[in-house]
Structure 1
Amino acid sequence: MTTLFGEANARGDLVSGDKHVHMAAAPEAEGPPRQLPLDVPGFTGRRDVLDRLDGLLRTTGPAPVIIALTGMPGIGKTALAVHWAHLVSDHFPDGQIFIDLRGYARRGPVSPREALSQALRTLRVPSSRLPVEEDELAALYRSRLAGKRALIVLDDAASAQQVSPLLPGTSSCVVVVTARRRLTALVARWGARAMALDLLSPAEARDLVGEVAGRERTRREPDATADLVRMCARLPL
């Protein structure tokens, strides 16, 4: 093939007279983000909540579906969010984003600006192109997600104020927020669906012990299994 600067061979290298210049291939575009943590092996229970979450995938409207999973520490909010996200990941071909907001970490929660910057880097925006102002970061974040089918998991939120700037503006996205406290402002202002997690049922707790200790063993030792369920207070810790 003849170009303005000489002949190009089959590999795209430029040949001009006795000079041969190797033209590096353009880097392949990176795929969409797949940031979900490892799913919990042998996840057990919460069938009713999983069914409710599945039902929300069929929700249509002008705004994104926002789900607030709340409950005490150790109740299994993150495990449930991650497990469900893996189950439905094929519904979100444009990516799954996971951000730990560190709502109750000793070093303090992640600021909205930090979280937005992290999300935008995940969406292939170079750090050198990130705006300084939080409002501009949020606008760019919404632009990047416009029309995309993406799942965003915001784990361990401290407040609705921390989460609000991270809400996309497109109805094709789904956001799952986990928090210890009920995020009433998120429900009132943005229409989030609140789901408060309770303790595992006795049957679910027994199933969980069986998953960990072995089902045959729990069948042989029902009294010891019941003791373990009581000791764990039906928390999936």
Structure 2
Amino acid sequence: MPTIDLNSDMGESFGVYRLGADREVLRHVTSANIACGFHAGDPKTIKATVRAAVEANVAIGAHPGYNDLQGFGRRPIQMSADEIYDITVYQIGAVKAFAEACGATLAHVKAHGALYNVAARNHDVATALCAAVRDVDRSLIFFGLSGSKLIDAANEAGLRCAQEVFSDRTYQDNGALTPRGDPRAMITDVNIAVEQVLTMLDSKRVRSVNGAWVDVQPDTLCIHGDQPGAVAFAAAVSAALRDAGVTLQTPAIQPHM
């Protein structure tokens, strides 16, 4: 029987700014990637989101990004490997502390936005990210784009990794995600999303926007919590997967990937 983790980015409100329907999305996923205060989030939001994840029995992850509230962490920032390491350790530490204060354990780390995309193709950035994760807690599971530099760096660092695929994003011929500036980047039709996911689980490949087949390893599936209709989308995808006989569970309790 196929098994996959469903993850979603959340905890992205801060101050008076509200984004996402985290409690509702948590009912349909198995892992939560919680913003650490750099691209979004603040201490109050981190605490509330951690508590909500604990109540929903959802695995807690840190979601570090560039220090870019105005751009929501989606703009690349030129930084040295040491600086990437430092901001990653700092952000993981914030969510880890709140998890432990709530009697829970941090389970995984997934980079956000531009930091994720840069690291997916830049070995030095990916290596700095993985070194930070390893040095905070080498038992943490590292989420990275399937087949990318993130996975190579995680393996080199001795980290257990979960290769990530996407239900609501399209792919380029080289396995990269289609840039958000491209009108084809997002999948908003849940039927198309479900078909893409089931194909990835069945054949370990996904069709690019140009029609090419790209190999993938679907260990964890991202459902974005900030898109319009995210709750209905998450509910429909999770229900369709269960109906197809797919088991939804976190990487921590899946066979070693």
Same fold by TM-score greater than 0.5: no
Q: TM-score normalised by the shorter chain: which range applies?
A: 0.3 to 0.5
Q: Please, what TM-score do these two structures have when normalized by structure 2?
A: 0.31
TM-score (norm 1): 0.32
Larger radius of gyration: 1
